[in-house]
Amino acid sequence: MAERIRVTLKWIKILDKLEPFFKETGEFRFRSKISSDNEGGFVAETRFPEEGHYSLSDKPGWNFVTLNKVLFEGAVSDHLLVELFGEEVDLFTANDELDHYRREFRGPVGEWLGLYEPADEGAGDPENMSNWRISYTIEKI
Ligand SMILES: [Ca+2]
Ligand SMILES: [Ca+2]
Ligand SMILES: [Ca+2]
């Protein structure tokens, strides 16, 4: 049975600014890709910020961006794939990529509604990557 859900990205924390030591902040851009093979299959992509970049450091107080951004609203029945990409923009060399986040949900929607955060699954927590951390919710609407 299809259920309507909402995926909301709460925040992002940068652990490596991917810049030389003398540069205080990096120029970060992000992209989400929410997809499913349900309902005939779909892909919903969102870029943020819409223009420009976030200036973020990896120092406490400067490495955090509160987003509360809705990445997807729609119907699914038993499959959802959440992917997040981040890059730090460089002018004269290729942009630096943050780790690719990928988490796939299968089975009844009710089993995977909830809060996904970096510190609740021990070592290898998927939301706790080598160079960034994320937190998001999947809720029924
Ligand atoms: Ca860089
Ligand atoms: Ca840069
Ligand atoms: Ca987690």
Question: How far does the centroid of ligand 3 lie from the alpha carbon of residue 92, in Å?
Answer: 36
Q: What is the pLDDT of residues 53-112, one digit of tens each?
A: 999 999 999 999 999 999 999 999 999 999 999 999 999 999 999 999 999 999 999 999
CA-to-CA distance for 98 and 30, rounded, in angstroms? Answer: 9
Please determine, for residue 52, whether its predicted confidence score (pLDDT) is greater than 90.
yes
Question: How far does the centroid of ligand 2 lie from the alpha carbon of residue 126, in Å?
Answer: 26
Of the chain, the percentage scoring pLDDT greater than 90 comes to 98
Question: How far does the centroid of ligand 3 lie from the alpha carbon of residue 57, in Å?
Answer: 23
Residue 17 identity: K
Residue 31 identity: R
Global pTM value: 0.95
- So what's the pLDDT on residue 1? 81
Question: How far does the centroid of ligand 2 lie from the alpha carbon of residue 80, in Å?
Answer: 33
What are the two backbone dihedrals, phi and then psi, of residue 137, each rounded to the nearest 5 degrees? -120, 150
Q: Which two tokens stand for residue 140?
A: 């029924």
The ligand minimizing its distance to the Cα of 53 is 2
SS3 111: helix
CA-to-CA distance for 136 and 115, rounded, in angstroms? Answer: 6
CA-to-CA distance for 101 and 94, rounded, in angstroms? Answer: 20
Question: How far does the centroid of ligand 1 lie from the alpha carbon of residue 25, in Å?
Answer: 9
Task: Please name the helix (run of DSSP H) or strand (run of DSSP E) that holds residue 136, with its range, or none.
Answer: strand 132-140
Matching residue, tokens 């600014």:
17
Q: Which domains does the chain have, with CATH numbers?
A: 3-140 (2.60.40.150)
